[in-house]
A and B are shown apart, each in its own frame.
Chain A
Amino acid sequence: MTRNDPRVPAITALVASTLGLVFSSYSTFDYTAHLDRQIHAIHCSFIPGASASSDLENPCRAAMYSPYSAILRDKLWGGVPISLFGMGAFAFFVGFSLYLLLVGPRATRMAQWFFAATSVTPLLASIVMFFISLLRLGAFCKLCVGIYVSSVGLAVAGVLVARAALAEQKAEAQGAPPARARGSAVHPVAWLAALGAAALLPATAYASSVPDYRPYLASCGKLAVATEPHNALVKIATKRPVQPVTMFVDPLCPTCKALHERLVGEGVFEQLDVQASLFPLDNECNWMLDRPLHAGACVLAKAVLCGGPRSREVLEWAYSKQEELRIVGKTGNAPLKAAVVKQFGAELGTCMETRATQLRLNQHLQYAVANHVPVSTPQVFLGEKRLCDEDTDLGLRYTLGQLAPEVLP
């Protein structure tokens, strides 16, 4: 097979669309597995068939929980994952590229141009998702990258087909006999309809079978003690607070960071009247652990407490520098405190050292005990109702829409 072999674009398209189908199927089935509201291992590898990962902090999980992984999130719990559309579209392109491969040079000009035009549609979607991953998520999930690469492959095949068609048309314009039949103009319409149907079919099957989640939404308990008796909790400033929310958070917890980013990304955070109860998963101050899960979290929790009106700024700084601070935290408290002082000044550093701050942090932890919250972060209470963990990620928008629609933009 040579470079100019007319089968090259079709084979390229077949391989690319098959890979795209495999990657988008993994992504889809990982998503559907989570519809039971449990945490499952998810696939996150460039190698199709590689074992799934239980790591809670891998980029594929972050992408799955992000607001960008699904549409209609406020209508259906978890929304409709966009990978479903990719899966259907790639299935169509597998069929069409197989057709192009088998029909070879007898494919019509219409078929050529239809393929050339539509083969870039997965790439356009991939470009959008690429920039979302880059700019919003700050990480690339390998399955997503697999889909991006497949989309590029498919688009390359489309370009090759278009180039061949142009060359043939140019030759024909110079008097050469037509290389192939033009084909009926009806066919592209039919193919386009078939592409649309293929893209929509899995999503329709999915949406029509999603269970009713409403009975589960308020099933995770409530605050036993609504008000912290010492007024020790931290008020997080927002622009239009309309719904009281109590959040148990750890500044070094990646899931807390992801939730914060989701709430901000969904445009919800500014409508929340947030009081934060710091719950560092670090046994230096938290007796509920026998070893530090997030070393240095107690130091940063004190920094947030001492932030006063800047508490949100301190917390968001800790989230934004989380990876770096987690590394520093493992080396000891002093360098971590130095990083805080460098960012927010010596006065805040002095405050962190006081007995009053230590006592206040302890009151936060005792508040967690009084409310019997699970020893994991984040924990979110909408008013007094506890949001189940799964309703703070995949089901966030749907749950808010059901329990507090006023916070949705």
Chain B
Amino acid sequence: MRPVAPTVIDPQPGAPAPAQNVRRAPEGPGGPPPQASKGTPPGPAIVGIAVGALLAAGLSLGVRSSVHAAGVRLASPAVVAEKQAVAIADHAEAPYCTPAFKTVLQRVLNSCGLVGGDSARRGCQPADVKTFASISDADFNALFTPLKDRGAVIMFDEGSEKLDDEAKKLLEDKWQERKGARYFFVVARASKTGSPDNNRALSHKRANSVMFDLNEQFHDPDLDKQVGLLWLGNEFAQLGRDYCDWPSSRPGKTCNAEAINRSAFVSWVDCRL
């Protein structure tokens, strides 16, 4: 007769078997081997349960604590301050943007209709410039010296505000070299020839010619917010002959103190204002 199957109730991590629950199978020939009939002591089960439970519970508490700590950091002002340290996209700021230069530019922007909501007003005439710039002619021109390679001198015929093909091409090239600049300045002048009133009007027309051409070529809806027009006639900040060396729409052609002032200096300005 086959011996009765052993019915040892083993201990386990979830429910250790007390020793009295172990029922021994009959011993003797054909019976279970001694090791199978010994039962299992509760010690290993207790250790297993304790370690497993402590690990699971301890780690759960650790997780809860870590999540709570993250919540505290989330609400702390230090985190907010740290977040604000990220660089924000902005316009370029070239080395020539000195405080004096920016002061004049800011006054141009404020006084010539680019900022401040005075949309009816476009540009500044000589009297305005003299007033807001509050600097000498030479100092005014010196401010623009660093823009020699960034900008160009658009030249006109005597008594004319019409842009020739070279002027248009140069103007378009310069406009397309915007990079990080925010404002495009047009400083139009007239030569000493003629009366101040006529020259004032002529330089105004020259500035407008530049503006109209840009509008016609690029149809930029933001043009009014980008282009600052100044017309100086022959009353303020006339250019000297040395400006003939600057990039112009008529390179290689005869240039003198009269010719260089029949012009509009155009340039993007890489300053944050």
**A21 touching B55 in the complex, CB below 8 Å, given contacts A36-B70, A84-B63, A178-B33:** yes
Contact A287 B32 (CB under 8 A): no
In the complex the two chains form, is A288's CB within 8 Å of B63's CB? no
Are A202 and B56 interface neighbours, CB within 8 A? yes
B56 CB contacts on chain A under 8 angstroms: 88, 91-92, 197-198, 201-202
* A297 CB, min distance to chain B CBs, angstroms: 15
Per the bound structure, the CA–CA distance linking A91 and B31 in Å amounts to 38
Among B45-53, B197-205, B229-237, B243-251, the one that faces the other chain is B45-53
- The answer to whether B67 and A202 touch across the interface, beta carbons within 8 angstroms, is no
Chain A residues in 8 Å Cβ range of B6: 178, 181-182
Contacts of A309 in B (CB 8 A): none
Contacts A211-B71, A288-B90 given: A180-B35 contact, CB under 8 Å? yes
Q: Report which of A111, A187, A373 forms a contact with B89, defined as CB distance below 8 A.
A: A373
- CB-nearest residue of chain A relative to B48? A99
- A95/B12 contact (C-beta < 8 A), A103-B40, A181-B39 known: no
Cβ of B148 under 8 Å from chain A: no
- In the complex formed, the residue of B with least CB distance to A84 is B63
Is the C-beta of B64 less than 8 angstroms from some C-beta in chain A? yes
Q: Is B150 an interface residue (CB 8 A)?
A: no
Q: Are A177 and B45 in contact (CB under 8 A)?
A: no
Q: Are A202 and B51 in contact (CB under 8 A)?
A: no
> Shortest distance in angstroms between B76's beta carbon and chain A's nearest beta carbon?
8
* Interface residue stretch chosen among B113-121, B175-183, B259-267: B175-183
Q: Mark A99-117, 1 if CB is under 8 A from B, else 0.
A: 1111101111011000000
Partner of A209, one of B67, B90, B91: B67
Q: Give the contacting residue for A99; candidates B13, B61, B89; CB below 8 A.
A: B13
Q: Are A103 and B221 in contact (CB under 8 A)?
A: no
- Once A95-B55, A372-B89 are accepted as A-B contacts, the answer to whether A194 and B64 lie under 8 Å apart by CB is no
The B-contacting residues of A in range 58-111, CB under 8 angstroms, are 84, 87-88, 91-92, 94-96, 98-103, 105-108, 110-111
B38 CB–A CB distance under 8 Å: yes
For the complex, give the distance between the alpha carbons of A182 and B22 in Å: 12
When the two chains form the complex, which single residue of B15, B31, B40 contacts A107, counting CB atoms closer than 8 Å? B40
Check A107/B10 contact, CB under 8 A, given A21-B55, A33-B66, A96-B52: yes
Q: Evaluate whether A32 and B13 lie within 8 angstroms (CB atoms) in the complex, with A94-B52, A94-B55 already known.
A: no
A106 touches B40 (CB 8 A): yes
Query: How distant is B24 from chain A, measured CB to nearest CB, in Å?
Result: 10
Residues in chain A near residue B36, CB distance under 8 A: 177-181
- Check: A368 CB closer than 8 A to any chain B CB: yes
* Residues of chain A contacted by B61 (CB below 8 angstroms): 205
* Bound CA–CA A205/B75 (angstroms): 20
Do residues A187 and B67 form an inter-chain contact, with CB atoms below 8 A? no
Inter-chain contacts of B255 with A (CB < 8 A): none
Indicate if the CB atoms of A179 and B33 lie closer than 8 Å: yes
Residue of A nearest to B37 (CB): A181
B44 contacts A103, C-beta separation under 8 Å: yes
Q: Any chain A CB within 8 A of the CB of B1? A: no
Q: Write out, one digit per residue, whether chain A residues 262-277 have a CB within 8 A of any chain B CB (1) or not (0).
A: 0000000000000000
Tier of interface size on chain B: 35 or more
Whether B176 and A359, one on each chain, are in contact in the complex, defined by CB atoms closer than 8 angstroms, is yes
Asked if A355 is at the interface (CB within 8 A of a chain B CB), the reply is: yes
CA separation between A243 and B34, bound complex, in Å?
74
Q: Contacts A98-B47, A216-B74: A198 and B86 contacting too (C-beta < 8 A)?
A: no
B216 in the interface (beta carbon within 8 A): no
Contact check, B14 vs A177: say whether CB atoms are below 8 A apart.
no
Nearest-CB residue, chain A, relative to B8: A181
Interface of chain A residues 27 through 80 with chain B (CB within 8 A): 28-29, 32-38
Separation of A230 and B225 alpha carbons in the complex (Å): 14
Q: Which residues of B contact A197 (CB under 8 A)?
A: 56
Residues A38 and B73 in contact in the complex (CB < 8 Å), given A29-B62, A95-B48: yes
A375 touches B88 (CB 8 A): yes
Partner of A206, one of B5, B37, B57, B63: B63
Asked whether any CB of chain B lies closer than 8 Å to the CB of A362, the reply is yes
B68 within 8 A of A: yes
B57 CB contacts on chain A under 8 angstroms: 201
Whether A177 touches B33, Cβ cut-off 8 Å, given contacts A91-B56, A216-B74, is yes
Q: Does A369 contact B (CB under 8 A)?
A: yes
CB distance from B226 to the nearest CB of A (A): 10
> A-side interface residues toward B, CB under 8 Å?
21, 25, 28-29, 32-38, 84, 87-88, 91-92, 94-96, 98-103, 105-108, 110-111, 177-184, 186-187, 190-191, 193-194, 197-198, 201-202, 204-206, 208-211, 216, 229-230, 279, 287-288, 355, 358-359, 362, 365-366, 368-369, 371-376
14 contacts between A and B (CB under 8 A): A91-B59, A98-B44, A103-B44, A177-B31, A181-B37, A182-B7, A187-B10, A211-B67, A211-B74, A279-B89, A369-B180, A372-B90, A373-B89, A376-B86
